[in-house]
Structure 1
Amino acid sequence: MSTNALPPIVDADTWQRQLEALRVREKTATRELDAIAAQRRRLPMVEMPDYTLEGEDGPVRLADLFDGKSQLIVYNHMWFPGEQWQCTGCTGFTSQFARLEFLGNHDARFVIVTQGPIDEALTYKRRVGNRMAWYSTANSPFGTDVGAPPGGGFAVNVFLRDGDTVYRTWHTNGRGTEQLSHTFALIDLLPYGRQEQWQDSPEGWPQSPTYSRWSDSKDIAVLYGDPNT
């Protein structure tokens, strides 16, 4: 007999009844997320100054980051000066977004902004195989003003453009970014889940220190990056 930690074994009818009971909670959560999104669409907004950032082709105004679109999602990537490998969480999170063209159908764009100097940022982008558009706020207060100062954490900000005027409409950080990730959504479907010590799991379930199962930046570079950087 197996000595592994396993869920109880039941007949198909008992399994179906318990699945349907869980489904009630899942559908309730889905409707609550719909309601949250509706409230998000009704948030007021704040006008932003006319920031200038640095892009691959030189200085670029904040309004131009939209690339003609009216809506913009910005991921503020953590940056540690002089380090070859940047934040594991940020690197892993942004490595998911290899196909973003669908946002164009919704009049939107998704980019990365970091405190790192643009040349270093672009080198890191290639090193880890990231395909998103990167910009630098190293010479601009933009990062600080949207919750991602030098030496600070990561963030997600959303903006709306009306002509050349840009408005900030939404912000999150910490675990608020999980809703944008497919990795945790898939892992949470698994019987053992994330296997991190903070999770509420049955007795005997495999658990490891938080973050210990995450791919680090070197792993991501090996899988997706440019070996010449």
Structure 2
Amino acid sequence: MSDNKYSFPEIVSREEWTAERKELLKEEKEFTRQRDRLSAKRRKLPMVKIEKEYEFEGPDGKVSLLDLFEDRMQLIVYHFMFDPDWEEGCPSCSAWADQIARGHLNHLHARSTTLALVSRAPLAKISVFKKRMRWEIPWYSSYGSDFNYDFHVTQNESVKPVMYNYRDKATLEHLGQHYHIEGEQPGISCFLRIGDTVYHTYSTYGRGGEQVGGAHYFLDMTALGRQEDWEEPEGRATGLGAPAGSDKILYPDEYDGH
């Protein structure tokens, strides 16, 4: 591998490095406190009662949104992009899911929280792909349901006005985000149950889902970062990584050493 196309960090003495690291630590600690304050505000958000009866299909047949909780108090839904016309799920969604779908969800379950994937693809396609990926995480089909449209992770103007990340079509076009105007979109939604009543407490879209899953935040601690074109310093890892949407993002079973 040639090193001359990369822009590596400056080489300094241990003393100089330690001095700069201590300065950065001050900002990291403030960022942690700010993140804690933001999380507290998130917990204080009001909630909306779910009035509609959504129907999903799982391995054991038809289920309701309440069933997805698996008798726990909270439900986190990862809106996995898998269009009914596709034969495979989204590679980026697959990369995210693979970081947790092979592991144990015991720590979530111990806190009365269930994590599940929901896609608009029919269950038959989901089942084939899930088996190929060797995932154990619960995964349901919302095919034929309004669920994806109501939570703004499938954009189709003939069904519902465009709305993604709390922005309407005109705003998205103004921002140059035409890729969010049609089709399947990424997102995470959280629900709370009180008895048999379900409430929607939170949804995040786009890069909002990066804070869970793992790899991105591990990479943020490294000198080469995520190796995305938008990162600073410019040219740090040109052409090295696998940017979002890139054909370098492989399905989990396609990597060497799988």
With structure 2 as the length reference, what TM-score do the two structures score? 0.80
Q: Does 1:137 align with 2:142?
A: yes
Structure 1 gaps of 5+ residues are none
1:198 touches 1:210 (CA, 8 Å); kept in 2?
Answer: no
Distance 1:7 1:148 in 2: 39
Aligned length: 221
Instruction: Give the equivalent residue in structure 1 for 2:46.
Output: 44
The verdict on how the C-alpha distance between 1:182 and 1:42 changes in structure 2, with shifts beyond 3 A counting, is same
User: Partner amino acid for 1:206?
Assistant: A
Instruction: Give the equivalent residue in structure 1 for 2:118.
Output: 113
Equivalent position SS for 1:147: coil
The verdict on how the C-alpha distance between 1:213 and 1:139 changes in structure 2, with shifts beyond 3 A counting, is closer
The verdict on how the C-alpha distance between 1:41 and 1:60 changes in structure 2, with shifts beyond 3 A counting, is same
Instruction: Give the equivalent residue in structure 2 for 1:92.
Output: 95
Instruction: Give the equivalent residue in structure 1 for 2:230.
Output: 198
What is the Cα-based RMSD across aligned positions, in Å?
2.1
The verdict on how the C-alpha distance between 1:106 and 1:214 changes in structure 2, with shifts beyond 3 A counting, is farther
Any residues of structure 2 matched to 1:53-202 within 5 Å, and which? 53-97=56-100, 98-149=103-154, 151-201=183-233
2:58 touches 2:141 (CA, 8 Å); kept in 1?
Answer: yes
Distance 1:207 1:171 in 2: 33
Q: CA deviation at 1:213?
A: 7.9
User: Partner amino acid for 1:40?
Assistant: R
Distance 2:94 2:80 in 1: 8
Equivalent position SS for 1:85: coil
Q: CA deviation at 1:214?
A: 5.0
The verdict on how the C-alpha distance between 1:81 and 1:47 changes in structure 2, with shifts beyond 3 A counting, is same
Give identity over the alignment, percent: 33
User: Partner amino acid for 2:120?
Assistant: Q
The verdict on how the C-alpha distance between 1:188 and 1:205 changes in structure 2, with shifts beyond 3 A counting, is same
- Per-residue deviation, residues 123-161 of structure 1 (Å, max 9, x unmatched): 111112222101111021112111222632021000000
User: Partner amino acid for 1:31?
Assistant: R
Q: Does 1:216 align with 2:250?
A: yes
1:112 touches 1:133 (CA, 8 Å); kept in 2?
Answer: yes
Instruction: Give the equivalent residue in structure 1 for 2:21.
Output: 19
1:76 touches 1:114 (CA, 8 Å); kept in 2?
Answer: yes
Distance 1:223 1:108 in 2: 31
Q: CA deviation at 1:164?
A: 1.2
1:76 touches 1:112 (CA, 8 Å); kept in 2?
Answer: yes
With structure 1 as the length reference, what TM-score do the two structures score? 0.89
